[in-house]
Structure 1
Amino acid sequence: RNSISAASPPLIILYKADTMVDANEGLWERLSAAAAPGGSSLEPLLRGFFESGFQAHVQQFVAERAPSFTEVCADGSHPLIWTQFHQEYRDMFEQQLDLILATLEMTKAELQEFCEWLQAHVEIFEEDSEGLHSFLEAVTASEEYESFLKAMFEEVRRQQLVAEPPQEGVAQTQELEVCVPEGLGPGQVLAVDYLGARYELVIPDGCEPGMSFRAAVTVAA
């Protein structure tokens, strides 16, 4: 009966590591061949996110839900529907990634391993020739709630400017309806967020907690 020496496990690990490197090199060659002229091995993956059909789908999603993002928020809280819409937004990008990987005959595990392999190359040679950092930033943008809010607020402003074009030299103002929260009353300052900007408003006389008042604020063009 053959015995296995204590040196066997490292050799097995080394063999597996070599196999992984070979697999990633093969994937790099395959993706590079599928890239547009001058593109990196990650270009075929990114291309799917910039495909016109998907971009139109994203724009429609944002445009249809923008009216829900005109709400004035006090105390830093946001409506629950915003987080629900963000989850739908993330799911949309996740589904697109699945389609891209299926087209390229890749799995998510292979993509993760490939990115780790490229990351090791970046750290060793201090050169991001494949644009890994830009790729990761692009494919993870939908995961970030703040980035999602920025996109939604920009669409709100776009729709507002279409409905009411700005006059040259005239500051753009919006009239907000604000509800006075518990613990605050007339004469006190209430900080509210609207379209990503914070405004400090003085609660007018006669407005008690639970009551609403209107205030005009200057918004970015």
Structure 2
Amino acid sequence: MATHQSPITQFNRLIKYVLDRLFAALALVVFSPFIVFVAIAIYLRMGRPIVFTQARPGKDGHIFTFYKFRTMTDDRDADGNLLPDVQRITAIGKFLRQTSLDELPQLWNVLKGDMSFVGPRPLLVEYLERYSPEQARRHDVMPGITGWAQINGRNSISWSEKFKLDVWYVDNWSLWLDLKILFLTIWKVVKKDGINQSAQDTMEKFMGN
């Protein structure tokens, strides 16, 4: 089997790590009014909890607590089962997803060192045992708030395509690539290009190859 040499040296990892934490701290200060406003709006519409938390795998598969603004209610059917996403998402939830404001709490993940601004998106823990060895390479780097797959299709592409893009990022990383991804992410959010406008903003679960 061919080995893969990551372009991310220990020095580059340190630079990326320091820049991530520095800009996460600045962003939390700059966006604090938006964070407070969104938190109040969620509380008034849905109550607590305001922030959705979930265990997610990070670099090398290490598990961390992932944060995101809550966008759905906990409404259930007569048997106690959660209703489909399309029935639970609220008007403010749709707005938060379409504007990506629901991702703001992940700035805390970046500040803590769990995540980076740019990298493969952290997915579900249950997927870890379903990846092929090649797909599992997406965990060779820190997960990100945005990534190469997010600006090249997001939820409109298949799992296979998404993982190929994630691994491509691992093999071609540079600070310039991160800057390009950040710029294109902001541009797509402003234009609402590639943002799923439907109420159900989630993909089917990845069940393996």
- TM-score, structure 1 normalization: 0.26
When Rg is computed on C-alpha atoms for both structures, the one with the higher figure is 1
- TM-score, structure 2 normalization: 0.27
Structure with more relative contact order (C-alpha pairs < 8 Å, separation 6 or more): 2
